[in-house]
Amino acid sequence: MQKRGRDRESRHTGRQWLLWVMFVLVAAYAVVLLLRGEGANPLMDRVIGELTQWVPAAIFWLAVVRTGFRRLDVLLATLAVTCNSVADTYYVATMDATGRVLFPSPADIGYLLFYVLMIAALIALIRSQMRGLAWSVLLDSIVGALGSAAILAALLGPVLNSAMNESAALAATVAVAYPLFDLLLVAAIVGIAAAPGLDAGPRWIFLVGGLLVFAAADVVYALLEASGAYTVGLPVDAVWAFGLALMAVWGDAAGRQNVSLIHGKTTPFLFVPAVAVTAGLGVLVIGTQSVQPVVAVVLASLTVFLAAIPLVFRQRLLRRQARTDELTGLPNRRALYEDAPAQLTLSPVATHQRHGALLLLDLDRFKEVNDSLGHDVGDQLLIEVSARLSAALPPDAILARLGGDEFAVLLGRAGESEASTLAEGLCDALDGPFVLQNLAVKASASIGIALFPEHGHNLSDLLRRADMAMYKAKATQNGAHLYQPEDDSHGDRRLRTLQELRLALTHDQLLVYYQPKVDLLTGGVTGVEALVRWNHPDRGLILPDDFLHLVEEAGLMPELSHVVLTKSLNQALAWQNNGHPLTIAVNMSASSLVNIDLPDQIIKMIAERGLPASTLMLEVTEDFLISNRERARAVLTKLRAAGIQTAVDDFGTGYSSLSYLRDLPMDELKLDRSFVSQMIDDPRAKSLVVSTVDLAHSLGMRMVAEGVESIAAYDELAACGCDHAQGFLLSRPIPADELDVWLEARRQAQPDRSKQ
Q: Tens digits of per-residue pLDDT, 638-662?
A: 888 889 998 888 776 654 446 566 6
- For the ranges 282-291, 365-374, 494-503, which has the lowest average pLDDT? 282-291
CB-CB contact of 148 with 279 (8 Å) = yes
Residue 70 has pLDDT above 70, yes or no: yes
CA-based nearest residue to 361, from 417, 303, 400: 400
Q: Tens digits of per-residue pLDDT, 119-178?
A: 888 878 776 555 545 555 556 666 666 666 676 667 666 655 555 555 444 555 565 667
Residue 585 has pLDDT above 90, yes or no: yes
pLDDT of residue 531: 93
- For the ranges 153-167, 258-272, 422-436, 488-502, which has the lowest average pLDDT? 258-272
pLDDT of residue 214: 83
pLDDT of residue 162: 58
Torsion of Cα atoms, 167 then 173 then 179 then 182, to 10°: -170
Residue 60 has pLDDT above 80, yes or no: yes
DSSP state string for 32-45: HHHHH-SS--HHII
pLDDT of residue 280: 62
The larger pLDDT score, comparing residue 278 to residue 326, is at 326
Q: Which residues contact 690 (CB under 8 A, 6 or more apart)?
A: 720, 721
- For the ranges 192-201, 237-246, 368-377, 657-666, which has the lowest average pLDDT? 192-201
CB-CB contact of 462 with 358 (8 Å) = yes
- For the ranges 259-273, 406-420, 527-541, 610-624, which has the lowest average pLDDT? 259-273
Assign 255 a pLDDT band (cuts: 50, 70, 90): low
pLDDT of residue 6: 43
Residue 81 has pLDDT above 80, yes or no: yes
In this structure, are strands 445-452 and 434-436 parallel, antiparallel, or unpaired? unpaired
Tell me which DSSP letter residue 268 carries: P
Assign 262 a pLDDT band (cuts: 50, 70, 90): very low
**Average pLDDT, stretch 667-689?**
85
CA-based nearest residue to 277, from 416, 444, 457, 140: 140
Averaging pLDDT over each range in 172-186, 188-202, 665-679, 708-722, which range is the top one? 708-722
In angstroms, the CA 645 to CA 628 distance is 19
In angstroms, the CA 608 to CA 615 distance is 13
Average pLDDT over all residues of the chain:
77
Assign 444 a pLDDT band (cuts: 50, 70, 90): confident
Residue 596 has pLDDT above 80, yes or no: no
**Average pLDDT, stretch 228-232?**
71
Tell me which DSSP letter residue 46 carries: I
CB-CB contact of 394 with 501 (8 Å) = no
**Average pLDDT, stretch 187-198?**
63
Question: Could you give the percent of the chain with pLDDT greater than 70?
Answer: 70
In angstroms, the CA 367 to CA 458 distance is 30
**458 burial level (CB within 10 Å; 0-12, 13-18, 19+):** middle
Residue 261 has pLDDT above 60, yes or no: no
Distance of CA 244 to the CA centre of its chain: 29
CB atoms under 10 Å from CB of 40, counted, come to 19
Residue 35 has pLDDT above 80, yes or no: no
The larger pLDDT score, comparing residue 540 to residue 437, is at 540
- Indicate the residue type of 357: A
DSSP state string for 133-151: S-HHHHHHHHHHHHHHHHH
pLDDT of residue 342: 78
pLDDT of residue 735: 93
Phi, psi angle pair for 430, to nearest 5° = -95, 5
Question: Could you give the percent of the chain with pLDDT greater than 90?
Answer: 15
- For the ranges 92-96, 427-431, 674-678, which has the lowest average pLDDT? 92-96
The larger pLDDT score, comparing residue 662 to residue 441, is at 441
Residue 572 has pLDDT above 90, yes or no: yes
**342 burial level (CB within 10 Å; 0-12, 13-18, 19+):** exposed
Assign 527 a pLDDT band (cuts: 50, 70, 90): very high
The larger pLDDT score, comparing residue 699 to residue 755, is at 699
The larger pLDDT score, comparing residue 491 to residue 225, is at 225
pLDDT of residue 703: 92
pLDDT of residue 433: 81
Torsion of Cα atoms, 466 then 454 then 337 then 443, to 10°: 30
CB-CB contact of 583 with 575 (8 Å) = no
Q: Tens digits of per-residue pLDDT, 490-510?
A: 556 667 777 888 888 888 899
pLDDT of residue 49: 81
Phi, psi angle pair for 284, to nearest 5° = -70, -40
Assign 4 a pLDDT band (cuts: 50, 70, 90): very low
In angstroms, the CA 292 to CA 149 distance is 14
Tell me which DSSP letter residue 331 carries: B
Q: Where are the alpha helices (DSSP H) in 578-682?
A: 590-593, 598-609, 622-627, 629-642, 659-663, 673-678
Strand order in the sheet with 398-403: 398-403, 406-411, 356-363, 445-452, 480-482
Q: Tens digits of per-residue pLDDT, 297-319?
A: 776 676 666 666 544 455 565 56
Query: Which residues does residue 450 pair with via DSSP β-bridges, in sequence order?
Result: 358
